[in-house]
Amino acid sequence: MTKVRSFIAIEIPEVIKKGLSGIKDVLKKTGADVSWTRPEGIHLTLKFLGEVEEGKLADIQKAIEESTKGISAFLLEANGIGVFPNIRYPRVLWIGIKDKGDTLKTLEEAIDRETEKIGFEKEGRDFSPHLTLGRVRSQKNREILIKSLEEFDKIELGAFNVTEVSLIKSELRPKGAVYTQLWKVALI
């Protein structure tokens, strides 16, 4: 049976992606060894599903529908820059996502709970909403990169309205992953 590499996510508006691209362009000048995320591929992942049998996609759709019941459109803010696991040895560079209420957390927990019912493991770590700018491949020019990151510490890219949740297919290719929205559910 055919398998589809997939995840559940919130799509990011173009205006935010342009802001992320501008930050990335500045950070690229550090000469750090980073695999940069392509702007068109940036999204807010709620649940990575991995390789899923095609026949299970309908169950995932139902799980998303169930997870979003009673959740209205809500506002998120993209601001602040950070790294995983820590600033001394950055591996992932990201922009933070802030939710003035708890809607995003409620949504993520509901998705985790509903997908667990159909055989997906619950997340083992706390949800840390972020938009990945890039992944550090080596420590080349690390100090220059860290200094540049400090310049964006208080960056504010603006707010955006979340109106839908998507099931996205991810195809790994030599030039990077290609993402295709398979299905979406609108938030009322």
If you count them, how many residues does the chain have? 188
Which of the residues 67, 130, 145, 179 is marked catalytic?
130
Our answer to whether residue 165 is catalytic in this structure is no
Structure tokens at 176: 């990077």
Our answer to whether residue 32 is catalytic in this structure is no
**Tokens 């709620």 — which residue?**
46
Closest alpha carbon to 41 in 136, 161, 133: 133
Rounded-to-integer distance, Cα 96 and Cα 142, Å: 21
Rounded-to-integer distance, Cα 176 and Cα 188, Å: 34
Which of the residues 43, 56, 112, 114 is marked catalytic?
43
What are the residue numbers of the active site? 43, 130
